[in-house]
Amino acid sequence: MLVASRPTVSPLDRPVIDQPVTFVELGPPNAAVEPFKQLVMRSQTSDMRLYCTVPTWSPSSDNCLDLHDLHQLRTKFLVFIHDLVQALRSSGVAASYVLVPSSSSRCIMCAGGCNDLASAVDILQKAPLDHRQTVLLADLSGCPCLIMT
């Protein structure tokens, strides 16, 4: 009998993107649905899963001063997700989403095709941002990602 164990991958073994992340400002959430939908539709055809991090609380928050700010940010993000999913479905894309709690104060959404989703989210959570109350778009190796602040 041969027992083979799966090799464990530590967070340090994940691939790191060496180039700095560049962001494109899409504006307020209601104006960002259509551009992000078009980008997602170019990368996928018939079905799409959106991976979304929802902030819980971060003591070192740069955009949420209190729990009311955090609640407003989460509310805007959830409305954005529902609007985006509805827009994708009306365009013929079978869209779904996954919500994951996060200790970051940023709302992050990555569209389906990321090779290493955890690494992409980690990079986006640590990226320095100067924008507040806007939606930013990043393309990480062909994986469209969005940050709402």
pLDDT of residue 88 exceeding 80: yes
- What pLDDT does 78 receive? 95
Distances (CA, A) of 65 to 58, 72, 79, 81: 10, 11, 21, 23
Average pLDDT over residues 77-92: 93
User: pTM to 2 decimals?
Assistant: 0.77
pLDDT of residue 47: 83
Instruction: Tell me the two tokens of residue 75.
Output: 């509310």
Does pLDDT of 99 surpass 90? yes
- Which has the higher per-residue pLDDT, 11 or 73? 73
Q: Is the pLDDT of residue 17 over 50?
A: no
- Provide, for the chain, the percentages of residues in helix, strand and coil under a 3-state DSSP scheme, each rounded to the nearest 5: 35, 25, 40
Is pLDDT larger for residue 115 or for residue 21? 21
